[in-house]
Chain A
């Protein structure tokens, strides 16, 4: 077999990172009780803004900042619609995806195929040359380490700090949180913007680091997989990481299987990362009582501070 496990693991981590970033952002949004279905739109806005900035300025750091800015700009639209104007979250989120895809295509017209600068790797050559552990642990671009850091930070903040407790409380019962004097709308604004920044960063990683190119619809459903990951990971940050790596692993593996010309239809191989990820996560979260316990009870419900 021509599949080398070391390069496979390196590839899966790279493939998984955009989905991981988008999902961890959406996890925080959903924990605060907001369902933002616009992840796909925010991701592709991040991808196009990041790519254009990288191409124009040559600075990767600025590109990532622009990607986050693009995602946040779209998230801000969603926040105003759902938190101030109290629009339906499902409809607004779907509209956001459609809007994001269209706007990104418009902004990105003419940028396809242009070169972008390469991204720095934080670890020295010597570490990367260690057999097996070198490529797996030390060969990645800096954003991959940042993404894992974000997962750890989200886990710590949600479970160990007061602000995390308040976010979970708002997502659990916004009326009770309001009665205790917490600013439900303000907290949700902040989490929605955080989710937008993460999705945008994921998109920028996709276009600037992984593909190093821009084309229409390049996120190809990664935003939707991120949404599914959050639910099937039972809103647990480490399970989101696991699910994202599983998704990335199957995606990387099936490309190699296609190249190896195994006797499986290509269409089935293409679909396999989506199918396997969802099946595995459904099995993990099959205890409905436990899963429901972790689900934010106020998810998707409009908060109206009437009394």
Chain B
């Protein structure tokens, strides 16, 4: 049998970095093939070459035996290659049908297209209303739009870039059901993920990349997740740990918080109530877009609320702004690193000043003490293993993981009473993620209260004492994290949106 896609010696170099170095592998029809690797291992560049977004420097591809070198995505789609992007390439202000029409070469009339969308979505168990605005859909539903857009082109190879990072466990099950059905019909699937258990459940073969090179292949069902992790990282990883302890006094309490969102696609918070105690890690799970950003803005002081809605050590702080809250010990690290947690074009020293100004006494009488500020930045760099030439480097120049270590380190070294982090390890590679989690646990160990907002449920189960879920702006009552199963959590997250009628 000839392979569906044969990749031979593919190489792509960017200034200063070789993204792919002589990568070769092949995918059979009907095979679910995993592409594994840490951030920066070259997975994205590789699939972009297959999808025609990037032209390789060297190497050849063959699709069903014929030479294949797509100059642009249009050509790739015409050849039967479709891709579901990690960051959805959708248009929020357009309807589902319009979004799908944009991804087709010769879309039928709107009414016929709507009928076809309904047909395909029912065949594959992905219910979707063609006339709803994409901006009103949940992350799982948006992914269905992308998948249906691909399926309408009847692809021979479907590329999926980290498809499950935004889904609830139940939605993941539905997705896998769809993918298995597609594979059974002969469609090959190239599946990129770093969730190893998922890959063991779904994939027939795996190719592992490290720093742009293919380092290994394996059959995921026959090896352990830990073994694959070691192949990816090149060393074994330690699991974060800390001693058992009793939680102390309540440090931060939020009571009856409701807030309507000002933007068309934002989420309103509804009657959010919780408290965190000294030495405790509270995990807040949930799929992105269910109120996480709004909740963080309320806690940080970017969105002021009624005074009594947020209390810090018994004092009402709801009306205070971010700087006043920082002075009192409530620190936050938002999700978006470039532009929210850090100013991209300013140096690390300047970024250290931005939140550490008061608590680290980096200024006196309105003048900045640059020496102290630089010392603070260097301290963060040294203590949190931030890989950078020095504190004078612009924040933009750091990789995502390194900047995240800097951002989290900057808050932790200010010795917070309460620290709120949103997506602390999003887009961060495994070893840096482990270091960040350990630092959060160490902080709680020293008596601070830590709130971790995250979509990564494994991460929350690993480090939280108590777990609650944010779903459509509502926060579930917290439950002890020990002993919670994925099933329980999925139900807390609201299960799968609109999926009740689908038999699995």
Contact = CB atoms under 8 A, between A and B. Distances in A.
Interface in B51-80: 53-54, 72-74, 77
B115 interface: no
Contact of B263 (A173, A289, A307): A289
B91 A179 contact: no
B101 interface: yes
A176 interface: yes
B307 to A, nearest CB: 26
Interface string A60-75: 0000000000000000
Given A172-B93, A288-B262, 19 more contacts: A165-B102, A166-B102, A168-B91, A172-B94, A173-B91, A176-B89, A176-B90, A176-B91, A177-B91, A179-B73, A179-B89, A180-B89, A180-B102, A181-B72, A181-B73, A289-B264, A290-B264, A292-B263, A292-B264
Contacts of A168: 91, 93-94
Interface in B243-267: 262-264
Interface in A162-192: 162, 165-166, 168-169, 172-173, 175-177, 179-182
B390 interface: no
Contact of A181 (B54, B74, B85, B264): B74
Nearest to B106: A162
A294 interface: yes
A1 interface: no
B48 A307 contact: yes
A165 B95 CA distance: 11
Contact of B107 (A162, A173, A181, A182): A162
Nearest to A183: B72
Interface of A: 162, 165-166, 168-169, 172-173, 175-177, 179-182, 288-290, 292-294, 297, 307
A55 B102 CA distance: 47
Contacts of A169: 91, 94, 98, 102
A180 B73 contact: yes
B339 to A, nearest CB: 13
28 contacts: A165-B98, A165-B101, A168-B91, A168-B93, A169-B94, A169-B102, A172-B94, A173-B89, A173-B90, A173-B92, A175-B89, A176-B88, A176-B90, A176-B91, A177-B91, A179-B53, A179-B89, A180-B89, A180-B103, A181-B73, A181-B77, A289-B263, A292-B264, A293-B133, A293-B264, A297-B93, A307-B48, A307-B54
Interface string B115-135: 000000000000000000101
A71 B103 CA distance: 34
B85 A179 contact: yes
Contacts of A162: 101, 107
A307 B89 contact: no
Given A173-B92, A292-B264, A307 B53 contact: yes
